[in-house]
Structure 1
Amino acid sequence: MTDSSKRKRPLVADKRYPSKAKTGAKPAARQAAKKPAAPKKRARKPQRPRRGGIIGFFQAIIGWVLRLIWKITWRLTAVAALILVLAVGYLYTTLPPLEALLDGRARGSVTLLDRDGEVFAWRGDQFGGVVTAASVSPHLKNAVIATEDKRFYRHLGVSPRGIASAIRINLSEGRGPLQGHGGSTITQQVAKLICLGEPFDPGAGITEQEYEADCRRTSIRRKAKEALFSMAMELKYSKDDILSIYLNRAYMGGGAYGAEAAAQRFFGKPAAAVNAAEGAMLAGLLTAPTTLSPTNNLDRSQDRAATVIRLMREQGYLTEQEAAFARANPAELSEAAEARAGGYFADWVMSTGPEFFTRNTTEDVRIRTTLDQRIQTAAEEGLKWVFENKVREGSEAQAAIVVMSSDGAVRAMVGGRKTKVAGAFNRATQALRQTGSAFKPFVYAAALDLGYSPNDLIVDEPYCLNIPGSGEWCPRNYTNRHYGPVTMTTALMNSLNIPAVKISESVGRETVSHVATQFGIRNDLAAGPALALGASESTLIEMTGAYAGILNGGSSVTPYGLIELTLLGDDEPLMGTGGGIGERVIQEDAAGQLVYMMEKVISEGTGSRAQFGGRQLAGKTGTTSAAKDAWFIGFSADYVTGVWMGYDDNTPLTGVTGGGLPTDIWRETMSRVHEGLPLMPLPMTNPDPASGLGEVQGSRPIPVGNSGGSIIDQVLRDIFGGGGQGSNAPAPRAGDR
């Protein structure tokens, strides 16, 4: 019996390592189900071996810090970018339509026209109308870009390169980083011009000037908001839209806001027609519009324009030939611009017009005035000639001139020796000065209106009055002499003081004051007997207007310069003439006789230096006590002119009386005014030689009979030694000169 049929026992090795063949599929599946296979691990990159020791420790610390910074930085950057996008987006939604940003003035403008309809002055914030980057002259557009922002069409509203360059320049010049050069793009400047979208609120408790100053602060916070606003504008508007806003809102000096107003103001042409030199001058004004304004300093403005032309050449906007031509032919001012805003006359018209349409207007207004630019030039040249030829060099004496028609229409006004000014003290309208003997015609006007005659006699002799509270007052003639019985004509002709006081006392001071007031002297008049000698104060324009009333036949006038006020774009005027002839003050016959007496002042008396051209002229000299004021006011048949001379601080004039330098100024002015005008007779009434012949003694007229003019001639010949009224030889002059 063999052992082959017996079951073989498993080997130990089999138990330890069971063969695959004996391992069934099902147990393998069960095992797989019970214990899933582990996923394969990703192969790691081989790491650099860490350096040990102290160096390795610090490297690990630095690496950790850098990783932390990076994680914080990109998160902060992401948050900042999100905030930036939200801020710009919000500002984008607040931006108004383009049209609302083109005219940024809070106030309106006033354009003044002369009697012929020609522009001679501007006031207020002048705006010439909307222009666009496409409608202005290419020279102006290129000049602005070359000067203000040469990378304008390539940035997104902010130029980091420009800011960095500005900071570097400021630091190198010893200023703070934000002081001086700003590095602002045109877009940023527009953001400032519109005050970052914050309109002026009159109820905010600050003035408009304070509001504008706040808009232009250069703090870091303000600059940051300005940058955001600029980027929002770049999204909202096109580049040319932004440039159009700039060209319309930028202040360019001389009261002109925007390119159109500046072109009209300085060159008398639209912004679309300016040449390269003119465009360069306008662009140059943007840096410092007041300082560089050509109406302030034309040479400085031309120098700045030359720099702009160089920049335009360097940036390819001009050829070398074009640049050379522009430099050789710099921009010049128009005639209206040379007048420097109309001077004293324009200031006066603005002060007399309605405030809501002149000084504080929010509308664009056109005012047609009475100014005659030919006569204005004559007055300025006459004043200049006398001071250059007859006044010592270095004298600080001042003078003023007013020329008007007999109805009170002011044709010219000079308020001081510096004629090319605006906003200056106007001695023709603002200076209250004692009138001296220039007041005497109103004394004689009162007498003539009461029936006195130019031939009535007054005894020129020592004369005193007892003034309650002041004691005895004794007037004296300028020569300290007395001339006995003289006619009223002779007394006025030679400006005798005692006869004037006697007549004033005779007709009554109240009557004299009433006549003077009705003729237009509005200021308080002296209450005592010195009233007759011009102790009261008045302005030159009031006195000249009062004399115009004598010329026109005895009716009062209100001096005026405004003829018509119209809103720009309207055809119908809002208001008309603000003055003219008023009520009658004295009878026409009395006015004619007074003109006759005043004609003798020039033809034979103290005003003889006023004669020119064989014309009939009438007037009156005036000198105050201590010669602090000297006057000459007179007229032809065409015009009335008043001249005042003196010192602003009331320093006495040396060797000057009304019959001297003021008369010279009057003659030089009136001779120029009357060039080319025909000779016209004065509207004077010659007194009947048989009329009057009364004598005024003390305070009441006493008739002396009706003996005829020969008696008067005989009396005057006895007094003056052959120099009577009918004589060609003038009587000795008394009173003021």
Structure 2
Amino acid sequence: MSGNGKKRSPLVAERRYPAGNGGKKPGPKKKAAKPAARKAPRRKAAPKPARPKGLLGWILLPFRWILRLVWAFSWRIGLITALIIAGFSFYFAAQMPAITDLVDQRTRGSVTMTDLTGEVFAWRGDQFGGMITTDTISPHLRNAVVATEDKRFYRHLGISPRGIASAIRINLREGRGPLSGHGGSTITQQTAKLLCLGVPYDQNAWESEAAYERDCRRTTLWRKAREAVYALGMEIAYTKDEILTIYLNRSYLGAGSRGFEAAAQRYFGVSANQVNPAQAAMLAGLLTAPSTNAPTRNLERAQNRAALVLGLMEDQGYLTASQADDARANPATLSEQAAQQSGGFFADWVMESGPEFFTRDTTEDVIIRTTLDQDIQKAAEEALLTVFDRDVREGSEAQAAIVVMSADGAVRAMVGGRNISATGAFNRATQALRQTGSAFKPFIYATALDLDMSPYALIEDAPTCWQRRGSPEWCPQNYDRQFKGPVTMIQALAESRNIPAILLSEDVGREYVRNVANGFGLQGDLAAGPALALGVSESTLLNMTSAYAGILNGGSAVEPYGLTDLRIQGDPESLMDAQDAGIRERIIRTDAARQLTWMMTKVVEGEGGTGGRARIDGWQIAGKSGTTNSSRDAWFIGFTGDYVTGVWMGYDDNRPLSGVTGGGLPATIWRETMVHVLDGKQPTPLPMTIPQAPPSTGVLESSGGVIADGAILNLLENIISESDALARQ
């Protein structure tokens, strides 16, 4: 084979044909294609809403559309509302004052009353014991409040939706409106309400503080919304403990107590930092209904409520089982002062009769020292209750009142009705104007004695009539419907005979009798006619008792008083001038008063005297009974050498008493009282003068029927012998 001599590489099939060609000859080589330009991504069309499937889908289509619309609006409105609430909350937070300015914003001050020895016996006004904090009170008290009122207090932001929903459910289930009854309020919300949502009391804008507080407690949807916003503001401005501090100081806990310090002192006589679990539970239990649950009103109810609080404290881990059991086994009781519940009528009278700006309308905390003797007060209260339980039929609505005072007008005890624990109640000793009946007669005899008439002067006790212009003749009767002929003034007074009293009044002159009675304190419109002598005019028991005190002290009028010293709390300086012991001007001569006192001893000690039931062995007692027409009023007023005690009995609606006279149950109540008052004391003689018997000659008869007849020696001998016997005692 021809060739050029150069060697050529042998052909290799693998090189001639690419692998995978199946041995085929490759085709002509193509030019490389240019890369295609990148196309812009196409926007995806919004997915078309799924077409409803079937009949059900078409039915639900409108509702789905409405739900989407509601959601679109609601989240936007919710956002706007949240922003508005946040704005107002921060606004309120910026306005919040320091907590020290909020703990005591009372518009009235307090009045604390002590007896004549300095022992506290009554509280009035709004008591505030001083600021306390969560750090200074007993931990038991703090835990009891949180466990009872808001167990999630330290975890929520001022409002509790769960609590509100639960309260609404309970209210609806119990048949009330959703906002009536349970409020579901947190402690923060309750504090906001106590602060009246930041609106201060303005006496020009509100009829009274009570009206202001009622408005603050109103529950409406708008107020609940404002309360919630204000509560959020408080949560921003204050810490939890600061909010609780305000709550502990501002809460009302019954019996005039504002704040837990005042309540602890009022009920238990201890500070809020000393209360034990049982006492703490009782105080916390008052928050729901302070007046109803107050232990001074119903101790058993307060203890039952405290037992529930102890259970909550145990459930929430604040007390161990043994601590809770011990507290339940030894429930809280009142202090001795709080338990006495005495002197309520007396305290009310002091508040009414004292200076207005330091009692009823005080803005200061005032300490008043009074004339009250708590032993005498207790004796009077027990005497009244004992006689009614023992001698008055069950279910009777009859009432009674007692006043005990010294000869200078210092009131030592006062009972204004059978409900001895009442406060602010109608006081029958000071407010009831009642006809005095024969209890008025001593002032007729006082007038006669002041005119130098003799107690032995004889008065004709015989049927007598008086002509009244424009009316038929008036022919009064004696109580026993009998007439005894000539009787001495001594016998006439002792037996409370009507005809001699009228004749004597007419003889000495009605105007003079009226002046003497007015001078001794029986003010008002005294009867103008002869009936003046029978006590048809009205008076209060307090005024009648003070008038008799004028007889005991020798003829000088007295002004009954119960207040001896008044000071602002913390200020040692007294705000009262020295009082003239109640003694006023002289009304009758001392000798006339002393003779009248001796005559009045015959009412109690003499044969036929109407006050025999008041007799106490070993004691000289002078007094006078009184019974009005149809027995609508029954009185007995008597005195020893130390005390004057007046008793009235009757019905509030002026119904006649059944079988009661002044010498009956009132005299019995008088004796029951004075037996305890005088127990253990040395008998004090009465300041009295035994008059000399008149000479045994001469007869003098006056137009009024008063005669001095020395010829009736047999009658006078009996009187003289009685006088001598009394003088030797």
TM-score (norm 1): 0.87
Tell me what 1:34 maps to.
none
CA contact (8 A) 2:460 2:485 kept: yes
CA contact (8 A) 2:132 2:248 kept: yes
2:704 corresponds, among 699, 708, 726, to 699
Tell me what 1:600 maps to.
602
Question: Is residue 696 of structure 2 the alignment partner of residue 677 of structure 1?
Answer: no
Quickly say closer, same or farther: Cα 1:430–1:60, change in 2 above 3 A.
Answer: closer
Tell me what 1:384 maps to.
385
Quickly say closer, same or farther: Cα 1:620–1:64, change in 2 above 3 A.
Answer: closer
State the distance in 2 between where 1:121 and 1:573 align: 20
State the distance in 2 between where 1:52 and 1:310 align: 59
CA contact (8 A) 2:458 2:708 kept: no
SS of residue in 1 equivalent to 2:273 = helix
- Following superposition, the deviation at residue 171 of structure 1 comes to 2.8
Question: Is residue 254 of structure 2 the alignment partner of residue 236 of structure 1?
Answer: no
Structure 1 stretch displaced more, 168-177 or 553-562: 168-177
Report matched runs for 1:360-375 at 5 Å: 360-375=361-376
Equivalent residue letter for 2:474:
W
Question: Is residue 140 of structure 2 the alignment partner of residue 145 of structure 1?
Answer: no
- Following superposition, the deviation at residue 517 of structure 1 comes to 0.4
Quickly say closer, same or farther: Cα 1:465–1:83, change in 2 above 3 A.
Answer: closer
Tell me what 2:250 maps to.
249
- Map Cα deviations across residues 513-556 of structure 1 (whole Å, 9 max, x no partner): 00000001012111111111212111111110000000001000
State the distance in 2 between where 1:198 and 1:500 align: 66
- Map Cα deviations across residues 465-490 of structure 1 (whole Å, 9 max, x no partner): 33333343333222222222222112
SS of residue in 1 equivalent to 2:505 = helix
CA contact (8 A) 1:624 1:630 kept: yes
Question: Is residue 553 of structure 2 the alignment partner of residue 552 of structure 1?
Answer: yes
Quickly say closer, same or farther: Cα 1:166–1:540, change in 2 above 3 A.
Answer: same
Quickly say closer, same or farther: Cα 1:314–1:554, change in 2 above 3 A.
Answer: same
Equivalent residue letter for 2:587:
V
State the distance in 2 between where 1:135 and 1:216 align: 29
- Following superposition, the deviation at residue 43 of structure 1 comes to 9.1
CA contact (8 A) 2:369 2:564 kept: yes
Equivalent residue letter for 1:613:
D
Tell me what 1:334 maps to.
335
SS of residue in 2 equivalent to 1:671 = helix
1:640 corresponds, among 615, 637, 644, to 644
SS of residue in 2 equivalent to 1:107 = coil
State the distance in 2 between where 1:482 and 1:215 align: 70
Tell me what 2:714 maps to.
714
Report matched runs for 1:118-157 at 5 Å: 118-157=119-158
State the distance in 2 between where 1:43 and 1:298 align: 86
- Following superposition, the deviation at residue 167 of structure 1 comes to 2.3
SS of residue in 1 equivalent to 2:514 = helix
- Map Cα deviations across residues 162-190 of structure 1 (whole Å, 9 max, x no partner): 22222232233333332222111100000
CA contact (8 A) 2:206 2:212 kept: no
Quickly say closer, same or farther: Cα 1:597–1:695, change in 2 above 3 A.
Answer: farther
- Following superposition, the deviation at residue 400 of structure 1 comes to 1.0
SS of residue in 1 equivalent to 2:506 = helix
Tell me what 1:586 maps to.
588
Tell me what 2:22 maps to.
none
CA contact (8 A) 1:459 1:697 kept: no
State the distance in 2 between where 1:488 and 1:394 align: 41
State the distance in 2 between where 1:52 and 1:552 align: 110
Structure 1 stretch displaced more, 402-411 or 285-294: 285-294
- Map Cα deviations across residues 601-635 of structure 1 (whole Å, 9 max, x no partner): 11112212211131011001111121211111010
Quickly say closer, same or farther: Cα 1:78–1:599, change in 2 above 3 A.
Answer: same
- Flag structure 2 segments of 5+ consecutive residues without an equivalent: 1-30
Tell me what 1:13 maps to.
none
Equivalent residue letter for 2:467:
N
CA contact (8 A) 2:260 2:272 kept: yes
Structure 1 stretch displaced more, 636-645 or 380-389: 380-389
Question: Is residue 667 of structure 2 the alignment partner of residue 663 of structure 1?
Answer: yes
Equivalent residue letter for 1:271:
A
Quickly say closer, same or farther: Cα 1:375–1:53, change in 2 above 3 A.
Answer: closer
Quickly say closer, same or farther: Cα 1:428–1:74, change in 2 above 3 A.
Answer: closer
SS of residue in 1 equivalent to 2:301 = helix
Tell me what 1:651 maps to.
655
- Following superposition, the deviation at residue 650 of structure 1 comes to 2.0
Structure 1 stretch displaced more, 535-544 or 568-577: 568-577
CA contact (8 A) 2:342 2:377 kept: no
Tell me what 1:623 maps to.
627
Quickly say closer, same or farther: Cα 1:341–1:189, change in 2 above 3 A.
Answer: farther
CA contact (8 A) 1:456 1:695 kept: no
Tell me what 2:26 maps to.
none
- Map Cα deviations across residues 271-318 of structure 1 (whole Å, 9 max, x no partner): 111111111001001011111111222111111100000000011111
State the distance in 1 between where 2:336 and 2:416 align: 21
- Following superposition, the deviation at residue 457 of structure 1 comes to 2.0
State the distance in 1 between where 2:454 and 2:723 align: 22
Tell me what 2:14 maps to.
none
TM-score (norm 2): 0.88
- Map Cα deviations across residues 362-418 of structure 1 (whole Å, 9 max, x no partner): 222222111111000101111122122222222222111110000001111111122
Question: Is residue 727 of structure 2 the alignment partner of residue 726 of structure 1?
Answer: no
SS of residue in 2 equivalent to 1:271 = coil
Quickly say closer, same or farther: Cα 1:696–1:125, change in 2 above 3 A.
Answer: farther
- Following superposition, the deviation at residue 332 of structure 1 comes to 0.8
Quickly say closer, same or farther: Cα 1:523–1:703, change in 2 above 3 A.
Answer: same
Structure 1 stretch displaced more, 549-558 or 170-179: 170-179
Quickly say closer, same or farther: Cα 1:341–1:633, change in 2 above 3 A.
Answer: closer
CA RMSD, aligned part only? 2.8
Structure 1 stretch displaced more, 512-521 or 576-585: 576-585
State the distance in 2 between where 1:70 and 1:646 align: 76
Quickly say closer, same or farther: Cα 1:553–1:66, change in 2 above 3 A.
Answer: closer
CA contact (8 A) 1:342 1:422 kept: no
Structure 1 stretch displaced more, 173-182 or 255-264: 173-182
SS of residue in 2 equivalent to 1:130 = coil
CA contact (8 A) 1:341 1:422 kept: no
Report matched runs for 1:483-498 at 5 Å: 483-498=484-499
- Following superposition, the deviation at residue 237 of structure 1 comes to 1.0
State the distance in 1 between where 2:334 and 2:588 align: 49
State the distance in 1 between where 2:467 and 2:519 align: 29
Tell me what 1:186 maps to.
187
State the distance in 2 between where 1:695 and 1:513 align: 26
Equivalent residue letter for 2:94:
T
CA contact (8 A) 1:147 1:283 kept: yes
State the distance in 2 between where 1:227 and 1:691 align: 95
State the distance in 1 between where 2:380 and 2:281 align: 36
State the distance in 2 between where 1:403 and 1:641 align: 4
Report matched runs for 1:249-648 at 5 Å: 249-340=250-341, 342-576=343-577, 577=579, 580-604=582-606, 605-648=609-652
- Map Cα deviations across residues 92-138 of structure 1 (whole Å, 9 max, x no partner): 11111111110132222211111111111111222121111111111
Report matched runs for 1:67-216 at 5 Å: 75-216=76-217
SS of residue in 1 equivalent to 2:154 = helix
Structure 1 stretch displaced more, 303-312 or 93-102: 93-102
Equivalent residue letter for 2:714:
Q
State the distance in 2 between where 1:589 and 1:177 align: 78
- Map Cα deviations across residues 49-75 of structure 1 (whole Å, 9 max, x no partner): 868755599899999988876665554
- Following superposition, the deviation at residue 235 of structure 1 comes to 1.4
- Flag structure 1 segments of 5+ consecutive residues without an equivalent: 1-18, 21-36, 718-722, 731-737
State the distance in 2 between where 1:404 and 1:327 align: 44
Tell me what 1:27 maps to.
none
Structure 1 stretch displaced more, 158-167 or 301-310: 158-167
- Map Cα deviations across residues 2-36 of structure 1 (whole Å, 9 max, x no partner): xxxxxxxxxxxxxxxxx99xxxxxxxxxxxxxxxx
